[in-house]
Amino acid sequence: MSERPLNDDNGHNGHDESGVPGENGGDNGAPDRFDEIVEAETDRDPDLAVIEAGSRTLRTQAGPPQGDVPARPEDPEVDRALREVEAELAGRWGETKLDPSLVRMEALMDILGQPQRAYPAIHITGTNGKTSTARMIEALLAAFDLRTGRYTSPHVQSVTERISLDGAPIAAERFIDTYRDIEPYVRMVDEREEYRLSFFEVLTGMAFAAFADAPVDVAVVEVGMGGTWDATNVVDGTVAVVTPIALDHTDRLGTTPGEIAAEKAGIVKPDATVVLAQQPVDAAQVLLKRAVEVDATVAREGMEFGVVSREVAVGGQLLSLRGLGGEYEDVFLPLYGAHQAHNAAVALAAVEAFFGIGSQHARPLDLDTVRRAFASVTSPGRLEVVRRSPTVVLDAAHNPAGARATAEGITEAFGFSRLIGVVGTSGDKDVRGLLEAFEPIFAEIVVTRNSTPRAMDVDELAGLAVEVFGAERVQVEPRLDDALEAAITLAEEEGEYAGAGVLVTGSVITVGEARLLLGRG
């Protein structure tokens, strides 16, 4: 195990002098500019301070910024106003502190006039694949000329990503206005209830209000955690989607797939259609029992719909999907991995169910429209290429099941001769299981941490990595910018490894910070 010094004896930050110049034209020298910026930014937004500092000091080259993840507002006044809202939201219960009750959300919806009932909804739960599936559903609905609202979590870079209208994150100005519009009502609920509304509850209220105000034709709503007691479960989805269930959040949801499924099954409402991805047997039994109890129609992957065939293609994969209304051939999906093909099958069935296919009639959706929709799908931070020479890929896998899917996907799609991992995880995850899933594909691993308090201590992570990989394959870099640079250097250092690459993974937060550091946003 090796660790580079954060500062050498000459006051430099440990970077090789031959490194690629940064956006300011070269090494900032001593004192360490990164630390100066962190100190200056911390008063404005602690969670973004380290990310922004690293973005200004990281000396790696990347492509142009991407439009599907918003950057900070260019207008200083708007940026200031957004930071104020972010700070106020951050002062509430975080997303990992839960109270199993919908009382506060129901009170907020009531005082806002039940905005979540102003439009039909497709409600999505599961362990892995929720956000990608939501984005595919959104693209399909939009291709059929419906105005969409999408609510997903967590965000990759900006909190405004969580609320999308017409396929794009709402503008910072609209996000601010929505918050200020509902703020008086939030305060009223805060004063009446035992506990204040949480960060996630307020954001959920904002999303439902923004969708009603737009107005949207249909909302695509992703559960935050679980289902029954999740803040989003004040919505009654005409279609409920359950993506693959695996072990995650076991301290809150249960220690078996069946126990976790019991919590997630709460989003299945009377007379709805429930679209089930392939599930562990005990989870499937629980979900089917719930469907029978509430008289919901069931569509199961592998039975009523599924993936007929798939082949790797340039920039993604070519699929043949069987939907509720028939077969859809030659569908290009610009995402990598078998798991994304299965997500596509689930998304297609959900949209078919929304249009009544399989229950009211059996006519398939227009094939050209389906093809056009899937070809437009993006999913930032999901096997996303953000740099070439060497290739740097980001993936938000944060549990063993997700890591296995990512490992299979990157092996199939990229065929790297040597792959360097950059891993920063949250402390409350099955980190050993995640590392074991990646061990067969990583030649070396650089362990690091992201900027949030939930991040696993880098020394603790390093200890686990040494147990899984062996000390000679582990490098420690406490700062993410240094970790990225170290991994890129390892990928470049030997000529025989011209096909080497870097995979950054372990947490949505780590991926979001890396995305910003590498110039994507």
Q: Is the predicted pLDDT of residue 120 greater than 90, yes or no?
A: yes
Which tokens in the block code for residue 187? 């305060």
Cα–Cα distance, 483 to 41 (Å, whole number): 21
Outline where 355-390 has alpha helix (H).
367-375
Q: Are strands 218-222 and 168-169 parallel, antiparallel or unpaired?
A: unpaired
Q: Is the predicted pLDDT of residue 381 greater than 70, yes or no?
A: yes
Q: What is the pLDDT of residue 48?
A: 43
Q: Where in the chain is the domain with CATH 3.90.190.20?
A: 2-61+381-517
**Per-position DSSP letters for 80-138, written without gaps between them:** HHHHHHHHHHHTS--TT---S--HHHHHHHHHTT-GGGSS-EEEEE-SSSHHHHHHHHH
Note the pLDDT tens digit of each residue in 321-369: 999 999 999 999 999 999 999 999 999 999 999 999 987 788 999 999 9
Cα 20 vs. chain centroid, distance in angstroms?
Answer: 30
Q: Are strands 391-394 and 384-387 parallel, antiparallel or unpaired?
A: antiparallel
Cα–Cα distance, 244 to 239 (Å, whole number): 16
Is the peptide bond between 154 and the residue preceding it cis, with omega within 30 degrees of 0?
yes
Q: What is the pLDDT of residue 495?
A: 57
Sheet containing strand 306-313, strands side by side: 306-313, 316-323, 326-333
Note the pLDDT tens digit of each residue in 121-167: 999 999 889 999 999 999 999 999 999 999 999 888 899 999 999 99
Mean predicted lDDT score pLDDT of the chain: 86
Is the peptide bond between 184 and the residue preceding it cis, with omega within 30 degrees of 0?
no
Q: What is the pLDDT of residue 321?
A: 98
Q: What is the pLDDT of residue 248?
A: 61
User: The whole model's pTM is what?
Assistant: 0.83
Note the pLDDT tens digit of each residue in 44-65: 344 444 444 444 334 333 333 3
**Angle ∠(128,462,260) on CA atoms, nearest 5:** 25
Note the pLDDT tens digit of each residue in 439-468: 999 999 999 999 988 899 999 999 999 999
Of the CATH numbers 3.60.15.10, 3.40.1190.10, 3.30.710.10, 1.10.3660.10, which one belongs to the domain with range 87-302? 3.40.1190.10
Closest CA to 34 of 434, 482, 373: 482
Residue 430, H or E segment: none
Cα atoms in the Cβ-side hemisphere of radius 13 Å centred on 363? 6
Residue 274, H or E segment: strand 273-276
Superfamily of domain 2-61+381-517: Mur ligase, C-terminal domain (3.90.190.20)
Q: Where in the chain is the domain with CATH 3.40.1190.10?
A: 87-302
Q: Is the predicted pLDDT of residue 23 greater than 50, yes or no?
A: no
E strands within 359-458? 384-387, 391-394, 418-423, 444-447
Which tokens in the block code for residue 428? 């409350």
